[in-house]
């Protein structure tokens, strides 16, 4: 694989985007960008949309990357810069328990997240603003948005890959055939 490959990993919360993206980046020798980092400011505040998109644009100026994130504004503005878009699309019955385990483990460990240093509290993990409830609210809409994204990107020559069970090794073999634009 050349050093000029850009891969975007999308999917609903708990789908396995970040785990797959980290594995792909490591296997392919590419930098990994997790969009949660520029999106979340301190205190679990969403970054100003213009600031967020500006940071994303600067991060994606590199010749090669593996990015993961499903933020609609970033996907709409930048997904066409990717050589390949990988949609991790497990059933909700798989992603929701995975998300709950991850969220509760982060709350238990008080694990700092991203550069803003936010930590998952029990109230944040289980309350009305919880990513678990958010995942339930947006699951169908994000799947529809990803179907539309694939329709929009298909004529642009972007390699479109939809997986139900992410297998990094199999994807690496597939992605090695992606020609850089």
User: Of the candidates 9, 173, 16, 176, which has an alpha carbon nearest to the alpha carbon of residue 95?
Assistant: 16
State the pLDDT confidence band at 1, using cuts at 50, 70 and 90.
very low
Helix (H) or strand (E) holding 56: helix 49-59
Pick 179 or 120 by higher pLDDT. Answer: 120
State the pLDDT confidence band at 3, using cuts at 50, 70 and 90.
low
Q: What per-residue confidence (pLDDT) applies to 176?
A: 65
Q: The pTM is what?
A: 0.89
Q: What angle do CA 103, 92, 10 make, to 5 degrees?
A: 75
Q: What per-residue confidence (pLDDT) applies to 180?
A: 42
* 52 contacts 72 by C-beta, under 8 angstroms: no
As a whole number, the mean pLDDT across the chain is 88
Q: What per-residue confidence (pLDDT) applies to 179?
A: 46
* 80 contacts 67 by C-beta, under 8 angstroms: no
Going from the N-terminus, what domains does the chain have, and what CATH number goes with each? Answer: 6-175 (3.40.50.300)
Q: At what angle do helices 92-109 and 131-153 cross, to 10 degrees?
A: 130
For residues 158-179, give the mean pLDDT: 76
For residues 131-142, give the mean pLDDT: 93
């Amino acid at each position: 694989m050349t050093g000029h490959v850009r891969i975007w990993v999308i999917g609903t919360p708990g789908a396995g985007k970040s785990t797959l993206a980290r594995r792909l980046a490591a296997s392919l020798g590419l930098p990994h960008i997790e969009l949660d980092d520029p999106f979340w400011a301190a205190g679990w505040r969403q970054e100003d949309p213009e600031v967020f998109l500006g940071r994303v644009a600067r991060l994606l100026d590199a010749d090669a990357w593996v990015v993961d994130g499903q933020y609609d504004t970033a996907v709409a503005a930048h997904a066409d810069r990717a050589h390949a878009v990988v949609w991790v699309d497990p059933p909700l019955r798989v992603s929701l328990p995975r998300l709950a385990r991850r969220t509760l483990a982060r709350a238990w460990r008080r694990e700092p997240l991203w550069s803003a240093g936010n930590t998952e509290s029990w109230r944040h993990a289980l309350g009305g603003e919880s990513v678990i409830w958010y995942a339930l609210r947006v699951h169908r809409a994000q799947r529809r948005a990803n179907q539309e994204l694939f329709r929009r990107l298909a004529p642009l020559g972007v390699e479109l890959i939809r997986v139900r069970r992410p297998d990094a090794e199999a994807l690496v073999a597939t992605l090695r055939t992606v020609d850089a634009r």
